[in-house]
Amino acid sequence: MNVGEDVDGGNLIIEAMTPDCREFIADHSLTKPIASGEVIHEPGAPLQNMVFPHDGQISVQYLMKEGRTVEMVAVGADGAVGIDYLLGGERYRYLAVTVISGRASWLPIKDFQTALQQFSCVRPAMAAYIERRGRLLMQAVACASVHTAIQRLSTWLLHADDRTQADSFDITQRMLADILGFRLATISESCNKLLGLGAIHYSRGTLSIVDRALLEAQSCECYEAVRLGPLEEFDADWLRPVAH
């Protein structure tokens, strides 16, 4: 997949922009597959690209000193990776790794800067996503504090289903344990409970959502609190000033 490929396929930030801006992004970005386990960027690496997933899911993770990671926020077609730039950063703060395979458009930061200057729709669209991402982060903190493993797993799977628009995806229980910060045995037990209820099917690393209603019944209130949908308008005055 090459520069100039259509980028309208599902990313909510890009869909919130004007047609001429979407055309600019298509002309200057590289759209390519992202594979499960692929590292999008390491913490501390120079900011080089804004990455807009069209499907699949990227996990933005905090890397502990002892090497463990924990997911801070998931990014799919609802968002972008690289927003550190808009918050004044010159380097990526966290680890970003693909957890569900898909496609993403890679827009070099210099071209993103040009888009910020030329198209007034870019800043409000990015601000709306950053505001939503902030709510996701705050909800995740509360969720990790009070909700059970099966509730958090169910909520994560529902959000993943919403982001990918795919009822089946390849993901291991080890990966789910690392993402949610649980022991593998705890995630295995939760998956077995969901299997027994008929909410999911899991075989050889492929997880399928069989009954969303059953899965929602096992999820926590955090799923409804931050359900994904079109981005809402949000004030962008606080974002990094546009360079001229």
Q: Which tokens is 164 given?
A: 């990918």
The proportion of the chain whose per-residue pLDDT surpasses 90, expressed as a percent, equals: 63
What confidence score (pLDDT) does residue 239 get?
A: 47
41 has pLDDT over 70: yes
234 residue type, one letter? F
Name 210's bridge partners.
none
Please state the rounded mean pLDDT for residues 157-181.
90
What confidence score (pLDDT) does residue 69 get?
A: 84
Set out the domains of the chain in order of their start, with CATH numbers. Answer: 12-140 (2.60.120.10), 148-219 (1.10.10.10)
Please check whether residue 21 is in contact with residue 115, taking contact to mean a CB–CB distance below 8 angstroms: yes
Please state the rounded mean pLDDT for residues 225-233.
62
**Distance, CA of 160 to CA of 50 (rounded, Å):** 21
Q: What is the pLDDT of residues 143-164, one digit of tens each?
A: 888 999 999 999 999 999 988 8
Q: How confident is the model at residue 4 (pLDDT cuts 50, 70, 90)?
A: very low
148 residue type, one letter? T
| 171-to-90, 146, 217, 242 alpha-carbon distances in Å | 32, 25, 22, 39
How many Cβ atoms from other residues are within 10 Å of residue 33's Cβ? 13
221 has pLDDT over 60: yes
Q: What is the reported pTM?
A: 0.86
